[in-house]
A and B are shown apart, each in its own frame.
Chain A
Amino acid sequence: MFAQFGYGVLVVTFILSLFGLGAALRGALTKSYPWAESARRAMLLTFPLITLSSLALIYLLVKSHYEVQYVYSVTSNSMPLYLRITALWGGQAGSLLFWAWLLSAFTSAITLRKWERDGEFLPWVILVSSVTLAFFLALIIFFENPFVSWWQTASGEVAAMFRPAGAVSLTPRDGQGLNPLLRHPGMIIHPPLLYLGFVAFVIPFAFAIAALITGRSDDRWIRITRRWTMWAWLFLSLGLVLGARWAYDVLGWGGYWGWDPVEIASLMPWLTGTAFLHSVIIQEKRGMLKQWNMLLIILTFDLVLFGTFLTRSGVLSSVHSFAQSAIGPMFFAFIGLTFVSSVSLLIYRWNDLKAEVELKSMFSREALFTLNNLLFMGVLIVCFWGVIFPLISELVTNQKVTVGPPFYERATAPLFGALMLLMGVAPLSAWGGSTIKTLGRAVWKPALAAGLVMAVIFAAGVHNVVALIGFGLVALVIFVTLYEFWRAALSRRKTSGENFFLALWKLAGRNRRRYGGYIIHISMVLMAIGILGIEVFQTETQGTLPQGSSLELAGYRVKFDSVAQFDTTGGRNVTRAVVSVFKDDRYLGDIYPRRDYYYESSQPMTIPGLYSTLADDLYVILVDWQPISASGATFKVYHNPLVNWLWIGTVIFIFGTLVAAWPEKELQVAG
């Protein structure tokens, strides 16, 4: 009953979104307020309706209605309540419903704003949102329906939405259960955050298209969606970092980022989104790069769709499975259609979007920001091509190839290095008219200090060139950013007479985006410290140990104490080793690397034992063991220097983004 209800509500919502689309189009073309208002109300209704449908699915998941195919495939009797709820986005059909639910929530939220000043945008924003929503609802209703049920017919079991003639309902006693890899707190929060980021980028895209269609060449669409974009970017970034943490904790290969196509799929919209966040500032301040900003948000939107397509169509395992997948070609067509139509619109408006102010200096802040965009695009090209090439190779030569970490690391490292250099130099440049001389005057002190840091690191015995350059750039960014805070606060203190800290506080309050941005820069270089640490200095060893024996690595000693095997809740068989960690013969504590084996899916999982400090992580994996005597076991030990700075940087990153995205008083009046 709930399955039919959930499906019925979705069908109604689909029809409503089509109505909203039509009404918005009519309202826009005839400049009819009632039609635009009608479209707005239709859009507002989609949110409670998809919420109802999602609740129906959650009810089915929680109450173990295994007669529903989706429930059967992602839950099982052994799964706890919270995992049953989060199974909503644990499988393909459910995650598409979740996508649609988020989109309806965001679109409803945006239609609730005050539209007096921007009434002409309203119908077009609704049109773009409802086209996207209708596309996702169509995918769910016609191809990936989470409410399809099992039926027993004379010819066997079938899955169908409605009872076939002569069939009886079939209810399996237990489900297959959620993929064990997804039963981790990181994986529970990671997809919703990533999806929040993905879907939220639809809104600035919708405004950009509205601006293109209505022919508004000013930066109004950017100002309206500025904070929205910041939040989208925050969620997308957090989604990425949580995914990295999940990989570190669950996948058991000693790292956090493997340049897997699925990871890259979510990195690509982040790259264009980050470039966009920087380049819109140039448009706001200088009236430049209008065409480029349009292109960036179009790219971001289509890369969001492309990311969902890559992970959902099966194209990554083989181009042939893409052709067999029901939604793959649909996605492909929708991406193509939206990209071609958006770019055509942009070309149509190209001349209206010419810059108002011309570039005066190659060393001005706008020039450096543009350079930053070029570098982000460079990383994007590497990522896009690296993901696409194996598919092309398979299509053309029928030969599968792997484009793995060595390719990406070699190609992106110099680009990321150059981005860090810009992060260090650009804050010291001025809008409009820096020259090499003024910029040089501003940069030489922090550059000298960064050089000294490099010398100290070199003297301390680090002779790796990549590490030396990397740490030097980190130091440069930190010095420049602190210097910026310091001299701006001093300047304010001089004019206002406030004490230094009050001046600093008020300064950040008056220009939140700028100083929030600086905090984000600091967080980025802290993350860079973690990345450099693990990428350049990671060491590893592996050995089979009799009980009581030890392995040594990077000054640590790990002693194998015992191993035990037992069944536990959640349908798991756990093999858990107890390992003591020593440094310089000082006992530091026990860690417990383990192997979880899930009976339902016959899938093993390797959970590392972790001894973590600010300086390094000792990461121990249980590779193998003697099942009968339990007297010997094979361990793989990784020493990951500085990796914790990656996670510390993330916390500061959240703070910085909140500062940047927090509403400013001036904006509240304007918006």
Chain B
Amino acid sequence: MKRNFWFILVVTMLALAWVRTASAQQPTPSDDDVNAIAKQLYCPVCENTPLDVCPTQACAQWRDLIRQMLAEGKSEAYIKQYFVDNYGARVLAEPPRSGLNWLVYLLPPLAFLAGAYILFRAFRSWRALAKEPADDASAVGELTADEYVARLENELRKRG
């Protein structure tokens, strides 16, 4: 059993190495391979322009660089890190999840939850305050713009 395990592991490792070598030897990655990575990066020069669609000469060269790195067998993660190391975190479509950047991810959901909590509390206090028993039909009647709509509201409620 144990021997089988080691056998499978060695074969898997060899297979992976073979696949990796094969991909490393791929002569020219396609435009789609390049764009799949360029799409996730932002032009280091232009404001808010993804690298795959930026029409400037500089970006064309950066795409060529991605192509070259792919041809050398570099992984997607490696290429992205290369761009971050050379041009800063702004080349990523989202701030890296570290340090102050956590704020960008945490603040909106926390603020929304706080808003939901405040609303929930307000709902409860409104309901507790409601002294009743003013009936709904009269409330609609007094507040609706014209009589016809009030009648319609009632009719619709009846029909449910």
A-B complex is real? yes
Q: In the complex, are the beta carbons of B32 and A541 less than 8 A apart?
A: yes
Give min CB distance, A604 to chain B, whole Å: 5
Asked if B27 lies at the interface with its beta carbon under 8 angstroms from chain A, I say no
Given contacts A491-B152, A544-B31, A666-B146, contact A402 B104 (CB under 8 A): no
19 other contacts beyond A442-B160, A542-B31, with CB at 8 A cut-off? A260-B48, A285-B144, A359-B126, A370-B123, A371-B119, A374-B116, A401-B104, A402-B48, A402-B90, A402-B91, A402-B94, A411-B109, A431-B140, A431-B144, A441-B160, A492-B152, A541-B31, A542-B32, A666-B146
In the complex, what distance in Å separates the CA atom of A359 from the CA atom of B139? 12
Q: In the complex, are the beta carbons of B99 and A397 less than 8 A apart?
A: yes
Asked if A317 lies at the interface with its beta carbon under 8 angstroms from chain B, I say yes
Q: In the complex, are the beta carbons of A385 and B95 less than 8 A apart?
A: no
Asked if A405 lies at the interface with its beta carbon under 8 angstroms from chain B, I say yes
Q: In the complex, are the beta carbons of A430 and B47 less than 8 A apart?
A: no
Question: A355 to chain B: which residues have CB within 8 Å?
Answer: 126
Asked if A404 lies at the interface with its beta carbon under 8 angstroms from chain B, I say yes
Of A144-152, A251-259, A579-587, the one touching chain B? A251-259
Q: In the complex, are the beta carbons of A358 and B99 less than 8 A apart?
A: no
In the complex, what distance in Å separates the CA atom of A537 from the CA atom of B28? 28
Q: In the complex, are the beta carbons of B30 and A543 less than 8 A apart?
A: yes
Give min CB distance, A52 to chain B, whole Å: 37
Q: In the complex, are the beta carbons of B157 and A430 less than 8 A apart?
A: yes
Question: A253 to chain B: which residues have CB within 8 Å?
Answer: 50, 53
Q: Using CB atoms, name the residue of chain B closest to A288.
A: B126
Total count of chain B residues near the partner, CB < 8 A: 58
Enumerate 24 A-B pairs (CB-CB under 8 Å) in ascending A order: A358-B126, A374-B116, A377-B115, A381-B115, A389-B95, A389-B104, A390-B90, A392-B100, A393-B100, A397-B99, A400-B89, A402-B95, A403-B94, A406-B93, A407-B104, A430-B136, A430-B157, A431-B153, A487-B159, A510-B146, A606-B55, A624-B60, A634-B31, A636-B53
Q: In the complex, are the beta carbons of B35 and A540 less than 8 A apart?
A: yes
In the complex, what distance in Å separates the CA atom of A253 from the CA atom of B89? 23
Within A504-549, the residues touching B (CB, 8 Å) are: 510-511, 540-544
Within B138-154, the residues touching A (CB, 8 Å) are: 139-140, 143-146, 148-149, 151-153
In the complex, what distance in Å separates the CA atom of A393 from the CA atom of B129? 45
Question: B148 to chain A: which residues have CB within 8 Å?
Answer: 510
Residue in contact with B100 in the complex, picked from A382, A397, A411, A542, CB distance below 8 Å: A397
Proximity string of chain A (350-386) to chain B, C-beta cutoff 8 Å, 1 when within and 0 when not: 0000010111101000010011001001100110011
In the complex, what distance in Å separates the CA atom of A396 from the CA atom of B88? 16
Given contacts A360-B127, A542-B32, contact A401 B119 (CB under 8 A): no
Give min CB distance, B66 to chain A, whole Å: 13
Q: In the complex, are the beta carbons of B35 and A487 less than 8 A apart?
A: no
In the complex, what distance in Å separates the CA atom of A89 from the CA atom of B86? 39
Residue in contact with A358 in the complex, picked from B94, B105, B127, CB distance below 8 Å: B127
Give min CB distance, B152 to chain A, whole Å: 6
Q: Using CB atoms, name the residue of chain B closest to A506.
A: B148
Question: B116 to chain A: which residues have CB within 8 Å?
Answer: 374
Asked if A568 lies at the interface with its beta carbon under 8 angstroms from chain B, I say no
Given contacts A374-B119, A511-B149, A543-B30, contact A401 B155 (CB under 8 A): no
Asked if B21 lies at the interface with its beta carbon under 8 angstroms from chain A, I say no
Residue in contact with B94 in the complex, picked from A377, A407, A540, CB distance below 8 Å: A407
Given contacts A252-B53, A386-B104, A393-B101, contact A438 B92 (CB under 8 A): no
Q: In the complex, are the beta carbons of B90 and A400 less than 8 A apart?
A: yes
Asked if A286 lies at the interface with its beta carbon under 8 angstroms from chain B, I say yes
In the complex, what distance in Å separates the CA atom of A254 from the CA atom of B35? 13
Proximity string of chain A (40-60) to chain B, C-beta cutoff 8 Å, 1 when within and 0 when not: 000000000000000000000
